[in-house]
Amino acid sequence: MKELAAIAEKIRNGDRRALSRAITLVESLRSDHRQQALDLLAACGTGRQALRIGLSGTPGVGKSTFIESFGLFLVRQGLRVAVLAVDPSSSRSGGSILGDKTRMALLSREPHAFIRPSPSQTQLGGVARRTRDAVHLCEAAGFDVILIETVGVGQSETMVAQMSDLFLLLLAPAGGDELQGVKRGIMEIADLILVNKADGDLRAQAQRTCADYSGALRLLRKRPQDPEGFPKALLVSAIEEQGLEAVWGEIQALADWRREKGIWETTRKAQALHWFSEEVRSQLLEELVRDPNLATVLAQEEGAVARGEAAPAQAAAKIVRQFIESNNA
């Protein structure tokens, strides 16, 4: 426990190696590690609030280049930047730690930047929980901006949005009829749409794409969390480092507006309670799944539900009753 306090102290002082090991601890699936991780989270306490920015974009839109350029831009403004990747489909064995550092070679060498690849868990729920803990640790370590990057597989964008203050969607220029398909749900959560590669031969095409999405955004209902003119589509060139200042300006304007209107605090509070309730539900479910007395009946009931032979409510009641009884025995 004394050691834990020392690690927590290091993290609070912004020691990147200690932070990195703490994140490895929260990612561990071993239950003794889990207990240590919870103690460490408690010991770190809550730091000041970083700006948590969710970022999504399909492969090939230049996400790594954008994060590198934008991260360097922020570091040059005197800000400390953490990058957390969320990719439920990734497997660490492929060497993605090296991969992430290679793809952001300049940013990873900055003393005020911290880059962390996705946890290797394949279940989105697991990735969500560990990323949430990592965000907590990065705030304790005093980072100013936390970029949470997702590849946009399945529900991962919604999940990242639930731990972000605002959300960026990166798109590539597309031509005429073959306008790239934007995953539908993303329009619900994007605060800024950034059309990347607004450079060289693609510049005009990027402008048209940006105009198309500006038009599409106007078709959608204004959300209560948006000031006039948001969500917005902007042009950037990550490779030529163009448009980054405008992006940062819009981010700050949006964050300031939401802080002023009380939306920032309300959202943070709602997010925290959402994660608390999710954690209680997940941890309870884990206790249930771990119960050796229930393994057989759980498999049976799942089979019956999948085959349509039992109503979900009825099968669930059976399992929960047995779990409570098994704990009372």
Closest CA to 137 of 19, 25, 43: 19
Which is closer to its own copies, CB of 112 or CB of 129?
129
Which is closer to its own copies, CB of 5 or CB of 105?
5
Q: Which two tokens stand for residue 120?
A: 């290797």
* Contact partners, residue 262, CB within 8 Å, separation at least 6: none
Nearest distance from residue 80's CB to its own copies, in Å? 20
Nearest distance from residue 157's CB to its own copies, in Å? 11
Which is closer to its own copies, CB of 2 or CB of 221?
221
Which is closer to its own copies, CB of 98 or CB of 317?
317
Cα distances (Å, whole numbers) of residue 241 to 12, 84, 319: 32, 21, 56
Closest CA to 58 of 174, 229, 159, 175: 174
- Give yes or no for a contact between 25 and 40, defined as CB atoms under 8 angstroms apart: yes
Closest CA to 135 of 268, 301, 4: 268
Q: What is the binding site for its own copies (CB under 8 A)?
A: 37-38, 41-42, 46, 49, 129, 132-133, 136, 179-185, 187-189, 212-213, 216, 218-223, 268-269, 272-273, 275-285, 287-288, 301-302, 305-306, 308-317, 319-320, 323-324, 327-328
Nearest distance from residue 93's CB to its own copies, in Å? 26
Which is closer to its own copies, CB of 109 or CB of 307?
307
**218 three-class SS:** helix
Nearest distance from residue 145's CB to its own copies, in Å? 18
From CA 162, how far away is CA 186, in angstroms rounded? 13
Nearest distance from residue 62's CB to its own copies, in Å? 19
